[in-house]
Amino acid sequence: MTDCLELKDVTVRYGARFALDAVSFGVPQGAQAAVVGPNGAGKSTLFKAMVGLLPMVSGQVLLHGQLRADYKEPVAYVPQREEVDWRFPVTVFDVVAMGRYGRGKWLKRLTSADRRTVRESLDRMDVADLAHRPIGELSGGQQQRVFLARALAQEPHVLLLDEPFTGVDVSTREATLELLSGLRANGVTVLVSTHDLDLAASRFDVVVLLNRRLIHAGPPREVFTEEHLHEAFGGQMVVVDGRMIVVDQCCCGGDAEGGGSAGDGAGRDGR
Amino acid sequence: MIAWLTEPFSFAFMQRALIASIIVGIVCAIIGCYIVLRSMAFLGDALAHAILPGVAVAYLIGANLLAGALVAGVLVAIGISFVSRAGTIKEDTAIGIFFAAALALGVVLISTMGSYAVDLTHVLFGNVLGVTSADLWITAGLAVVVLGLVLLLYKRLLVVSFDPILGRTLGLNIHWLRTGLFLMLAATIVVALRTVGVALVAAMLVTPPAAAYLLTRRLPVMMLVSAVIGVVSSVFGLYASYYLDISTGGAIVLIATVIFVLAFLFAPRDGIVWRARRRAAAPRG
């Protein structure tokens, strides 16, 4: 069986430094994969390279065996922090409707089917009541849900979510997890980057452990071994009484606040 | 009163001036929405000054000044777009270099003419009363092209202005669209040359859209309100200049500025008067 999503020797460089060094892995059709690794491991870089926002030095991204550039089905990508001007005069509905553009629809008006899809997507992310509000008036969590709704409105075959669980409120986190369950039923292939190792181990079919190069990719049980984790996290991991503890310091400025921010870490049995 | 309103337009040159002013009010106000939302006001000002050498060359060889301005505007727009694309220099730096170089070239060319020709001061400060039929045709033609492109590219420009990353993942060519917007801006500036002149065109690109931004929440409505403000400013500026015998371009820009100040103070949501009242009411409530 060919994988829905396949990376072959993907290499990205910032100047002389390798951000990603020959990363290869595959995700089967309809599977959900979590990309984990310490800060600076290249998780966001991987996503950007996959959607063509960053040039690759070498390597290929294949979707259903086709090169990404030749693949015409929609790939939705929700970046970690949208490079979006929140003061822009658009409503929530307008933003989600943008998910229906493309696919040769740049010149056509939205059809009633398009509008229905937009409304369903708003409903699914529980932001339908905000449809006519300007995007800038929403809270951070609501804004993220709007962008997830837009990704849904794209009716993607492949969905890439960069750190959807970082810095969001509990209800947005729950809404995102529900969305993932729903997408599983629809057979959408999903790739999510996260610092939440516990979540990666419990909710995902495939885990991709990354630290500029691929440490290991496969089912969580295979990936989360002492050896692999030590390779990825180094000093951020300790073994106490045969139990491994990984402290994955999240990206959101935890340094200044000290140990309290290590709550994203997960403790798991060694074997 | 009716006579007061119609009297100026018993002259053919005033009729041409009115048509030109209305076109300028609409086109500048609509393209200006992108300029304001994408924070490109500096580019608008720079492009306006950068067309000076084109005008000077056209004057020297006896060609139509607007045609010369258009050629120069297009060349500078493409130049800025490609230099900033290389990524070694930031966009505003690239704009600054092109702007100054083109302006210097214009000044040098004009200084070779011996005396500063009257026509060239009209380029700087506008002379809407001197609009010829040929000018009017060029102006109208460019306006139709620019507004047609805004309609044709509406969704694409909306996406790349609001969220360039989505634009890229939907397969849009960001660089091509940006260059296209620069070219539309260059054409718009040429359209405005006769009415407000190089020195004040940036105001017509920025002031009506900025006022409209304070009053609206969606881009199509913002464009519409901006166009209305642009037309009102142009028409009333023309009357003011006729009856008070003042510079037309200056009068148009000052009226637009008054409208902006009113919007800034009294806009229902963002106006500082209501904000102050809300703040004053808050502690008690």
For A152-210, write each residue's pLDDT tens digit.
999 998 999 999 988 888 888 998 999 999 898 888 999 999 988 889 999 999 999 99
Same domain for A109 and A205? Answer: no
Tell me: pLDDT of B25 over 70: yes
Chain B residue with the nearest C-alpha to that of A136: B217
Mutation target to probe the B interface, by most B beta carbons within 10 A, among A67, A87, A101, A155 is A101
Share of chain B above pLDDT 90, in %: 41
Q: Which residues from chain B sit within 8 angstroms of residue A79, using beta carbons? A: 165
Same domain for A164 and A149? Answer: no
Same domain for A172 and A150? Answer: no
Q: Is residue A165 part of a domain?
A: yes
Tell me: pLDDT of A270 over 70: no
Q: Is residue A210 part of a domain?
A: yes
Confidence of residue A3 (pLDDT cuts 50, 70, 90): confident
CA distance A42 to chain B (A): 18
- Name the percent of chain A in helix, strand, coil, to the closest 5: 40, 25, 35
Same domain for A101 and A201? Answer: no
Q: Is residue A49 part of a domain?
A: yes
Same domain for A147 and A99? Answer: yes
Q: Is residue B283 part of a domain?
A: no
Query: The tokens 């001007």 sit on which residue?
Result: A85
Q: Is residue A188 part of a domain?
A: yes
Q: Which residues from chain A sit within 8 angstroms of residue B215, using beta carbons? A: none
- Tell me how far apart the alpha carbons of residues B271 and B266 are, in angstroms, rounded to a whole number: 5
Range list of β-strands (E), A15-162: 17-27, 32-36, 58-63, 66-67, 75-78, 158-162
Tell me: pLDDT of A261 over 50: no
Residue A252: what pLDDT? 45
Same domain for A17 and A133? Answer: no
Tell me: pLDDT of A267 over 50: no
**Phi-psi category of residue A56: left, alpha or beta, with phi > 0 → left and psi -120 to 50 → alpha:** beta
- The residue from A96, A127, A154 where one domain ends is A154
CATH code at position B31: 1.10.3470.10
Same domain for A68 and A170? Answer: yes
Q: Give the pair of three-digit tokens for residue A85.
A: 């001007």
Structural domain harbouring A182 = 1-73+157-225
Number of domains in chain A: 2
Q: Is residue B236 part of a domain?
A: yes
Confidence of residue B10 (pLDDT cuts 50, 70, 90): confident
Q: Is residue A183 part of a domain?
A: yes
CATH code at position A214: 3.40.50.300
For B204-225, write each residue's pLDDT tens digit.
999 999 999 999 999 999 999 9
Same domain for A118 and A54? Answer: no
More confident site: A143 or B94: A143
Same domain for A161 and A133? Answer: no
Same domain for A21 and A129? Answer: no
Q: Is residue B284 part of a domain?
A: no
The string over B2-38, giving b where at least 16 C-beta atoms fall within 10 Å of a residue's C-beta and e elsewhere, is eeeeeebeeeeebebbbebbbbbbbbbbbbbbbbbbb
Number of domains in chain B: 1
Burial zone of A61 (CB within 10 Å; 0-12 exposed, 13-18 middle, 19+ buried):
buried
Cα separation of the two ends of chain A: 30
CA distances from B139 to A129, A207, A255, B146, B195 (A): 46, 61, 59, 11, 11
Residue B284: what pLDDT? 54
Residue B237: what pLDDT? 93
Residue B86: what pLDDT? 72
Q: Which residues from chain B sit within 8 angstroms of residue A47, using beta carbons? A: none
Give the type of residue at A255: D
Helix axes B272-281, B248-266, angle to 10 degrees: 20
Residues of chain B contacting A, Cβ within 8 Å: 37, 152, 155-156, 158-159, 161-166, 168-171, 213, 216-219, 221-222
Q: Give the pair of three-digit tokens for residue A129.
A: 């009541």
Residue A269: what pLDDT? 39
Structural contact between residues B208 and B233, judged by C-beta atoms closer than 8 angstroms: yes
Q: Is residue A239 part of a domain?
A: no
Q: Residue B163 and residue A91: Cβ atoms within 8 Å? A: no
DSSP letter for B114, please: S
Structural domain harbouring B108 = 2-278
- Tell me how far apart the alpha carbons of residues A135 and B26 are, in angstroms, rounded to a whole number: 27
